[in-house]
Amino acid sequence: MSATVRLATAPLQFDPQPVDRRIGLILLATDLTSEPDFVRLVAAPGVALHAARIAYANPTTPQNLAAAAPRLSEAAALLLPDESLDAIVFSCTSASVVIGDAAVADAIALGKPGVPVVTPPLAAVQGLMALDARRVSVLTPYTVETSVPMARYFEDKGLELAGFTCLGLTDDRQMARISRQSIVDAAVSATADDAQALFISCTAVRSAGVIDEIEARIGRPVVTSNQASAWAALNHCGLTAGPRAVGRLMRTAMPEAA
């Protein structure tokens, strides 16, 4: 080698951290949608996303979803070890329902203590409450078996179900391939006449990209898993969505009690 490598002598200055706000994202290994949605809804010059994945095997059944629980602590520990985060999102709605919001938060805290945890179903409930929607319709891509615990979850949180429709799919990779037009059509069909809002479940479904279109069609707010999670995570950062906002929810402040 002909070049001489020399050590610089000028002093270096360091920022406290590269980006002001940092959000961790824990995903299923098969998730095709959460990262693109969060890049669009959350990432900005002052907000960074850091993702970790956990092993997961389809089909999407309560049994397989529950098996994700022991893997959460390890995934959380891999999110910027010895560095701070403003929030961690476990990006799976149905697994959060099956495992339980508190159990998800406890498992993540074992790997990353002291960080606020966001789960999609709880963020959705908080969002619906912020929108003053108590009677809601729900659309999921799951089977009846996987949807029943979710219906029970929302009722236990004090919501009244005006209607609950599921699409009967068992593979989250297939859920991610539902066309945008099919999502819109299914959402319109699933919205009961007397519902105050529509919730579209599943972080795999590309519903965040068509929220505004669905809201225009049904004349009511639409809350989706990734949109609600992004809204809650930004709130933990002390930020609003601004120009990244989709749907009425992301233009609505989170109540102090939440």
Is residue 81 located within the same domain as residue 100? yes
Is residue 62 located within the same domain as residue 182? no
pLDDT of amino acid 258: 58
Is residue 217 located within the same domain as residue 238? no
Per-residue pLDDT of the chain (258 residues; tens, 9 = 90+): 788 999 999 999 999 999 999 999 999 999 999 999 999 999 888 999 999 999 999 999 999 999 999 999 999 999 999 999 999 999 999 999 999 999 999 999 999 999 999 999 999 999 999 999 999 999 999 999 999 999 999 999 999 999 999 999 999 999 999 999 999 999 999 999 999 999 999 999 999 999 999 999 999 999 999 999 999 999 999 998 888 899 999 999 887 755
pLDDT of amino acid 106: 98
Is residue 104 located within the same domain as residue 138? no
Is residue 104 located within the same domain as residue 164? no
- Boundaries of domain holding 181: 119-223
Cis peptide before 59 (omega within 30 of 0): yes
Q: Are 38 and 230 in contact (CB under 8 A)?
A: yes
The Cα–Cα gap between 96 and 107 comes to: 12
pLDDT of amino acid 38: 96
Is residue 104 located within the same domain as residue 145? no
3-state helix, strand, coil in the chain (%, to 5): 45, 15, 40
Whether the predicted model's global pTM rises above the 0.85 cut = yes
Strand order, beta sheet including 87-90: 47-54, 21-28, 87-90, 117-118
Question: Would you say residue 80 lies in a domain?
Answer: yes
Q: What is the DSSP string of 209-237?
A: GGHHHHHHHHSS-EEEHHHHHHHHHHHHT
Structure tokens at 112: 């990353």
> How many domains does the chain fold into?
2
